[in-house]
Amino acid sequence: MKNRQAYMVGLNKMEIREAAVPEPKAGEVLVKIEYVGICGSDVHYFKDGRCGDFVVDGELMLGHEAGGVVVKLGEGVTDLAVGDKVALEPGITCGQCEFCKSGRYNLCPDVVFLATPPVQGCNEDYIAFPANMCFKLPEGMSTKEGALIEPFAVGLHAAMQGKVGMGDQCIILGAGCIGLMTLLACKACGATDITVVDMAQKRLDFAMDLGATRVINAKEQDVLKYVEELTGGAGIEKVFETAGSPVTIAQTPYLVKNGGTITLVGLSANPEITFNFGQIMAKEARIESVFRYRNLYKKAIAAAANGLHIDKIATHEFAFEDIQAAYEASVTDKENIVKAVIKL
């Protein structure tokens, strides 16, 4: 067996190499990866060399959204079997800090998270990974869907942070993968009126197909004026920013209803953003933020297995040999590519 690995060796440059297949240690399994998604953070690293405060220093293997098949068990593993299809939750935490012990393990200061510098990712054929972070997929669910569980968990965490409930009205700024996953999660949590905003009409059409109530093309319409007319000046109770754009982040205080909630999901390449806190204080609005997810993989898998079509969000598929072109297209063709996945 050979283990192909794709490394980012400079801005906008990938290089495929071969390495030895790793051996699973005690408590680990060896997974043959079949699909890896290209995340927005991967695109930021590839194009900008950074994502928020995380900066690439040296060569980096990208990729953290993975689905595959267990091919070997490490010592002591009993909950999985060879041949099981799994989704990998890409963060390994310490288990000992106050955040891990309180169940908020996504905030663990010592987390080792795939493809977050300096930790290498999983754009490779094989990975040895902790068995307790490999979640078995039910019969009938593909490993391609398994790779999409990670971004869906982000959307589900966003909906839960925003406390979306039955009959809620929401607006989602950004119709990329995470925005659309947030749309599906809000619907699953009971929201009945969901507006999606983007500048790419094809993405907005996609949002309508996935169940948005209405869409706003920000290239053609004034979003603040549209929402003012829609709500009679009241604003929208649940506001989600998923684009990571300084422009849309700055819009959120003007869109939120008195006493409503803003949930910041998208991570801007530039962490310094102008924001009107006067609007927030006058409205007594609440700001929530999202850092990955926690305790949601089983719920996300169950939801996806029961009629929530997350697989539709993967609009483009590339062979591993074409990973350079896949990343370039994810940078330059955002109008058409909602989500690209790599097939190994």
* pLDDT above 90 for 126: yes
List where CATH 3.40.50.720 sits in the chain.
Answer: 154-289
The domain made up of 154-289 has a fold known as Rossmann fold (3.40.50)
Contacts of 190 (CB under 8 A, 6+ apart): 164, 165, 166, 167, 168
* pLDDT above 90 for 1: no
* pLDDT above 70 for 74: yes
The lowest-confidence range among 19-28, 45-54, 294-303, 311-320 is: 45-54
pLDDT at 8: 97
Q: Summarize pLDDT for 275-331 with one digit per residue, the tens.
A: 999 999 999 999 999 999 999 999 999 999 998 889 999 999 999 999 999 999 999
First to last CA, the chain: 14
Task: Look over the chain and give the mean of its residue pLDDT values, rounded to a whole number.
Answer: 96
% the chain with pLDDT above 90: 93
What is the CA angle 202-204-207, rounded to 5?
Answer: 115
Q: How confident is the model at residue 245 (pLDDT cuts 50, 70, 90)?
A: very high
CATH number among 3.40.50.10320, 2.70.98.40, 3.90.180.10, 3.30.470.20, domain 3-136+314-343:
3.90.180.10
Q: Summarize pLDDT for 146-180 with one digit per residue, the tens.
A: 999 999 999 999 999 999 999 999 999 999 999 99
Global pTM reads 0.94
List where CATH 3.90.180.10 sits in the chain.
Answer: 3-136+314-343
Q: How confident is the model at residue 269 (pLDDT cuts 50, 70, 90)?
A: low
